[in-house]
Structure 1
Amino acid sequence: MPLQDFATSEALTMGVELELQLVSTHDFDLVPQAEDLLRETARHTGAWDIKPEITRSMIEIGTSIQREHAPLVAELRDMRDQLARAARKLNIAIAGGGTHAFQHWSEQQIFPTERFRYISELYGYLAKQFTVFGQHVHIGCPNGDDALWLLHALSRYVPHFIALSASSPFVQGQDTGFDSARLNSVFAFPLSGRAPFTRSWDEFNVFFDKMTATGVVQSMKDFYWDIRPKPEYGTIELRVCDTPLTVEKAAALACYLQTICRHLREEQPFEPTEDDYLVYTFNRFQACRFGLDGEIVDPKTKTRQKLRDDILRTLARIDGHALDLRALDAMNLIRDSLFASNDAGWLRQQRREHRALSATVEQAAMRWMG
């Protein structure tokens, strides 16, 4: 199948997708009630979107195209409130977080669609282990060449989004020691990681043709890259974030990305090169393992500093762009979270206070549902 042309989008527009946990209000384990919730919300009001995910204990919601922080937050809150009302009718709860704290992958059920069955047959047990929950953010790009430049320029900021969104310290009842253990499940897929260093849409087309000729790839959906182009939408899609515990954090992360993208597009502070990726895997691991306390190596200067400090310096650098985009409230939320803790720290604190992981999930559900 040939790669489609890259659709034209308004630069710096945003779309947010959130994968969410459906949990029982009895024991707070995952519960396979996606079809019931989809039926209950079929007539929701608003331009947003709700659809199934790979297993029946998850759903994905997506916003309409947004330009500014305030309308984005308003839409996400409306989505949350309508979903929460529907969930209460079904006697279930909805939670954020990148992993469920104690579910067992073997108990999950594949959602009955043709694509999800295909993924299950292709990847075996990995498909059920993919019951993890992420936030994806789309940023509009006017053409494919601009999209690929921005994709590679953003690579040095990927650890920021991993550390800021990290909310998956627990897996199958154990504290993994990672702030974002979710990404370890994503890394297991053969077409995960970073996109190839192509600089033009024509060059990317050549790469795509070679991949489809091997039979390994059928469409762009087969790539699980950290950032990937979405030609049908005219966007690039950042895929490294865990689903935050609140919609307010989700909106702030999206606007942080939008503001960085404006800084990169308008100031072009550096030119992306293949060598930028020499430190990419190290930086990404540090963010997953240690969160905001991890270290980051600057690919240009080779200097090393704490991720928290690098984010603070970035916030100072992009402050003028945040003002122009009306995103200062979002930047303030990001800044405040640097001095509190990320969601992984909050979940660990709940575990210490409540001991039972079921109570930790209950607290997370209460927080997400407002």
Structure 2
Amino acid sequence: MSDLSKLSFTSSRPLTLGVELELQLVSLRDYDLTRAATDLLAGLQYDDRFGEIKLEITESMIEVNSRPRQDVTAIAVDLDGLREVLVSHCQRNNIAICGGGTHPFHHWPERRICPGERFAFLNQRYGYLSKQFTVFGQHIHIGVPSGDDAIWLTHALNRYVPHFVALSASSPFIDATDTAFESARLNAVSAFPLSGQAPDVADWAAFVDHMGLLQSCGVAESIKDLYWDVRPKPEYGTVEVRVCDTPLSVDRAIELAAFAQCLARYLLRERPPVVPAMQALVARYNKFQACRFGFKAELADPIHRRTEPLGETLLHLLDTLVADADDLGCRRQLERLRTLAHSQHGDAAWLRETATAAGNLHDLTRAATERFAEPSCYRPHA
């Protein structure tokens, strides 16, 4: 176990961005998930210029991580570069790659855990949940200068978990069934005992005390064991938003990163009142609403004791962030999200419509691989 009593927060430049994407590996024969990750990486010749490509918990997943960047344009270069490398390498190995928060029809018992001490530990601790954890998310890291800032921003961002869920939702199908959810992926995450909202700790010292308690009781060995919606990542000097489904395109992933950066800048600049104990009263309900209904969710507001439509609050929030987007150079990305929120037609809707038109989920997955293969419109080209 790590000595959490000595846990320190590595300061980073404010609003630095990093993005992680968990991606599906599918067979070109039937577009089911395929057990290919270890062999695929073993044959990959890549110099890490755009970031990392690495294993995830099962052999049907691959994870890509951008480098730490200061702006969304640089994130676009990384994510599109990683997409290009992987799509090309997968084609040479008769594999396709795609986004989406869940595979539409795979059977979880057929998954195989990747080699590695961490993955073996998760399999031993969580049993069948580790194979059911073959779901795919986007994580966004936002740099902050101190541990106290990280704790404050973690609490402040928790209010907006439903908005991230609605904007990214891309997992309506599980086990060849339309779940009636916009994001069914998060139901798999919620099964883990340390999922949900961060506890009401006041500052970094209180967080370290909390982690020490969890370790002493055998609940958690490290921060990696915390599956919180938003959590501090002290070794990177970031706050990590963990609730987004992996989008169907790198463009949507870039837009979500821009939204996170703008929102963090606004929150850190304005420092609105944050009441974690009140948020905790409705956090699970509000996240459920966003997962189930997406843009049409009705959110509980415990401060004013009322409900509010997620779609309306999201449009207002995006309008509020325009000045921050201009200063950060990502107005275009935010405008695309505003169009999305206004239309209420996201990736989940596209998946349902494409499945209906195709008549089967195999052709739906093929269409999803073709969509992910498309180059980003945000990457500058010489």
Same fold per TM (> 0.5)? Answer: yes
- CA distance in 2 between partners of 1:15 and 1:300 (Å): 32
Amino acid at match of 1:164: L
Question: Among residues 364, 369, 374, which one is paired with 1:365 in the alignment?
Answer: 369
Q: 1:45 to 1:281 in 2, by over 3 A?
A: closer
Amino acid at match of 2:272: P
Question: Among residues 230, 242, 247, which one is paired with 2:245 in the alignment?
Answer: 242
Are 2:14 and 1:14 aligned?
no
- CA distance in 1 between partners of 2:357 and 2:109 (Å): 29
Q: How does 1:251-330 map to 2 (within 5 A)?
A: 251-330=254-333
Amino acid at match of 1:345: A
Any conservation in 1 of the 2:155–2:274 contact (CA below 8 Å)? no
Question: Among residues 75, 79, 86, which one is paired with 1:76 in the alignment?
Answer: 79
Q: Using the TM superposition, give the Cα deviation of residue 301 of structure 1 relative to its aligned residue in structure 2, in angstroms.
A: 2.4
Any conservation in 2 of the 1:96–1:243 contact (CA below 8 Å)? yes
- CA distance in 2 between partners of 1:367 and 1:318 (Å): 29
- CA distance in 2 between partners of 1:45 and 1:288 (Å): 34
- CA deviation string 1:148-168 (max 9, x = no partner): 001001111000001110000
- CA distance in 2 between partners of 1:90 and 1:97 (Å): 21
Any conservation in 2 of the 1:153–1:271 contact (CA below 8 Å)? yes
Q: Using the TM superposition, give the Cα deviation of residue 127 of structure 1 relative to its aligned residue in structure 2, in angstroms.
A: 0.4
- CA distance in 2 between partners of 1:8 and 1:95 (Å): 34
The residue number in structure 2 matching 1:179 is: 182
Amino acid at match of 1:168: S
Are 2:50 and 1:52 aligned?
no
Q: Using the TM superposition, give the Cα deviation of residue 45 of structure 1 relative to its aligned residue in structure 2, in angstroms.
A: 5.1
- CA deviation string 1:293-322 (max 9, x = no partner): 111223432332221111100011111011
The residue number in structure 1 matching 2:201 is: 198
Any conservation in 1 of the 2:300–2:307 contact (CA below 8 Å)? yes
Q: Secondary structure at the match of 1:163?
A: helix
Any conservation in 1 of the 2:9–2:237 contact (CA below 8 Å)? yes
Any conservation in 1 of the 2:140–2:241 contact (CA below 8 Å)? yes
- CA distance in 2 between partners of 1:52 and 1:90 (Å): 17
Any conservation in 2 of the 1:156–1:298 contact (CA below 8 Å)? no
The residue number in structure 2 matching 1:341 is: 345
Q: Using the TM superposition, give the Cα deviation of residue 340 of structure 1 relative to its aligned residue in structure 2, in angstroms.
A: 5.0
Q: 1:53 to 1:45 in 2, by over 3 A?
A: closer
- CA distance in 2 between partners of 1:42 and 1:34 (Å): 14
Q: TM-score, normalised by structure 1?
A: 0.98
Supply the RMSD in Å over aligned alpha carbons: 1.1
- CA distance in 2 between partners of 1:21 and 1:241 (Å): 15
- CA distance in 2 between partners of 1:100 and 1:368 (Å): 14
Moved over 6 A (4+): none
Q: Secondary structure at the match of 2:160?
A: helix
Query: What residue ranges of structure 2 are gaps of 5+ in the alignment?
Result: 375-382
- CA distance in 2 between partners of 1:182 and 1:292 (Å): 17
- CA deviation string 1:80-109 (max 9, x = no partner): 111111010001100000000000000000
Q: TM-score, normalised by structure 2?
A: 0.95
Amino acid at match of 1:2: D
- CA distance in 2 between partners of 1:201 and 1:290 (Å): 35
Any conservation in 2 of the 1:167–1:244 contact (CA below 8 Å)? yes
Query: What residue ranges of structure 1 are gaps of 5+ in the alignment?
Result: none
Are 2:29 and 1:34 aligned?
no
Amino acid at match of 1:225: W
- CA deviation string 1:159-182 (max 9, x = no partner): 000111000000010001101000
- CA distance in 2 between partners of 1:351 and 1:297 (Å): 33
The residue number in structure 2 matching 1:124 is: 127
- CA deviation string 1:226-264 (max 9, x = no partner): 111111111111110000000010010011011011111
- CA distance in 2 between partners of 1:273 and 1:80 (Å): 38
Q: How does 1:144-223 map to 2 (within 5 A)?
A: 144-223=147-226
Amino acid at match of 1:354: A
The residue number in structure 2 matching 1:2 is: 3
Are 2:113 and 1:99 aligned?
no
Q: Using the TM superposition, give the Cα deviation of residue 43 of structure 1 relative to its aligned residue in structure 2, in angstroms.
A: 2.2
Any conservation in 2 of the 1:17–1:137 contact (CA below 8 Å)? yes
- CA distance in 2 between partners of 1:69 and 1:119 (Å): 33
The residue number in structure 2 matching 1:354 is: 358
- CA distance in 2 between partners of 1:43 and 1:266 (Å): 39
